[in-house]
Amino acid sequence: MTPAIPHQQTEETGALQEDDVSLIALENGCITSPRGFSASGVACGLKAEGMDMALVFSETAAVAAALFTCNKLRAAPIAVSENHIACQQARAILINSGNANACTGARGWQDAEMTAKAVSAALHIPINHTLIASTGVIGHFLPMEKILAGIQRAVADLQPNGGPDAARAIMTTDTRPKQMAIECRIDGKSCRIGAMAKGSGMIQPRLATMIAVFTTDCAIEPTLLREALQNSVNKSFNVLTVDGEQSTNDCVFILANHQCGNPAIRQKDENFRVFQRALDQVAVALAQELARDGEGASKLITVTVQEAATAEEADRAARSVANSLLVKTALFGRDPNWGRVISALGASGAQLQPEKIQIRFAGIVVAEKGQAIDYDRIAMQKALQEAEVEIEARLGIGQYRARVYTCDLSYDYVRINAEYHT
């Protein structure tokens, strides 16, 4: 997966900018590409088959930041990690798949605490330098014997090239691991950012999303790290929707272990800008990968709303289109159904004037001034067979834009979620 995103949205105006920062995608990049990180993935029997526990470890002290779901019924590990992140440092992140440890009451909390404690004991680090996350079925207690045995093996298996195993171990209904790494230059030093993430249903994050882990060997102050993470998440996972759902277990972590040798970033200078741009790049590429591999998805759909009256209305209009089951099923059927796009725009509550609206599918204008126009149907047919389709709506009202990533809705989404039994 190559992080080739030509444009980035600025936060203030939503306008697109050319990317002027030089970034290099690392071949086979992963969570252990930055210096000083090791990782492992092991099978401890939470899932019927395959690896289900991932551990990411920084060999030295690392600054840390995290974002958590704003679902009010948060899982126990989320609460534990939120407590631990308060110290702004962490060295280990343990993630299990197969069981979400959500809706498990006081015992779930105790199990999460015990998990973090076991990790910190095995790694000889303070308990609050351990972050944990769980993903999987809701409402079941963690089988702690399996968890504790798994932790021992995950610690023993830590490898400097263990990133791919970790990325595989956090998968649930994902069809493939999502991971990458990028290199940028900060103060003359080559700084790396690695990442892994898992989807792939129950996704429309508002604060953070699903589970994503970033590692970097850059040196940066904790408050700036937190701010950079929030900025990147706002442009990536927070504008991703697979099915409009927000999980009890969404979280995003980042560890920065200052192994690349740069003087720590302490203000919003050029170095911060480069770091931010690199982090954005990784986050957006991963978010697109999550949409592309959304449950049952056959394509990545990018919805761009332009010329809205306010940034909030641009966002609302884009989300309304991206969450429209009718738009998503139309694209599964390879139909440029702009009527459904218009209807979703109209239902969003954003300010609109029908006679000003232009709709494009895959760059081809299909509606002008709110009405049908002729277009090249053969070119369209070809474009809608591609693995990526962009829907653009120009509202002609103001100057704000928003972009949301989603996927189509297929039979397989229904199959996956109807066959998945508690």
Q: Which residue in 283, 367, 393, 402 binds a second copy (CB under 8 A)?
A: 367
Q: How far is CA 313 from the centre of its chain?
A: 23
Q: Count CB-CB contacts under 10 A for residue 92.
A: 23
**Looking only at residues 15 through 34 of this chain, which bind a second copy when binding is defined by CB under 8 A?**
none
Residue 418 binds to a second copy (criterion: CB under 8 A): yes
Q: Count CB-CB contacts under 10 A for residue 382.
A: 11
Which long-range contacts does 263-268 make (Cβ < 8 Å, 24+ apart)? 263/187, 263/219, 264/219, 264/220, 264/221, 265/186, 265/218, 265/219, 265/220, 265/221, 265/224, 266/221, 266/224, 267/224, 268/224
Residue 354 binds to a second copy (criterion: CB under 8 A): yes
> Is 376:289 a contact under the CB 8 Å cutoff?
no
Closest distance of CB 291 from a second copy, Å: 15
Residue 100 binds to a second copy (criterion: CB under 8 A): yes
Cα(58)–Cα(61) distance, rounded to whole angstroms? Answer: 7
Q: Which residue in 65, 308, 350, 391 binds a second copy (CB under 8 A)?
A: 350
Residue 201 binds to a second copy (criterion: CB under 8 A): yes
Cα(236)–Cα(247) distance, rounded to whole angstroms? Answer: 17
Closest distance of CB 380 from a second copy, Å: 11
Which residue, 87 or 103, is less far from a second copy as judged by CB? 103
**Choice among 69, 104, 130, 209 that is catalytic:** 209
Token output for 199: 């989807």
Residue 184 binds to a second copy (criterion: CB under 8 A): no
Q: At what angle do helices 270-292 and 222-235 cross, to 10 degrees?
A: 40
State the residue for tokens 């059927």: 333
Closest distance of CB 234 from a second copy, Å: 18
Residue 173 a catalytic site member: no
Q: Which residue in 6, 20, 49, 72 binds a second copy (CB under 8 A)?
A: 72
Q: Which residue in 104, 135, 232, 262 binds a second copy (CB under 8 A)?
A: 104
Residue 377 binds to a second copy (criterion: CB under 8 A): no
**Looking only at residues 287 through 346 of this chain, which bind a second copy when binding is defined by CB under 8 A?**
323-326, 329-330, 332-333, 335-340, 342-346
Residue 144 binds to a second copy (criterion: CB under 8 A): no
> Is 235:283 a contact under the CB 8 Å cutoff?
yes
The residues pairing with 349 across neighbouring beta strands, listed in sequence order, are: none
DSSP state string for 265-283: B-SSSHHHHHHHHHHHHHH
Q: Distance of CA 132 to CAs 46, 80, 217, Å?
A: 16, 7, 21
Residue 110 binds to a second copy (criterion: CB under 8 A): no
Residue 267 binds to a second copy (criterion: CB under 8 A): no
Closest distance of CB 314 from a second copy, Å: 15
Q: Which residue in 11, 355, 376, 386 binds a second copy (CB under 8 A)?
A: 355
> Is 12:149 a contact under the CB 8 Å cutoff?
no
Residue 361 binds to a second copy (criterion: CB under 8 A): no
Residue 13 binds to a second copy (criterion: CB under 8 A): no
Query: Active-site residue numbers?
Result: 209
List interacting residues with a second copy (CB under 8 A). 71-74, 100, 102-105, 137-140, 201-202, 243-248, 323-326, 329-330, 332-333, 335-340, 342-347, 349-352, 354-355, 357, 367, 369-372, 409-411, 413-415, 417-422
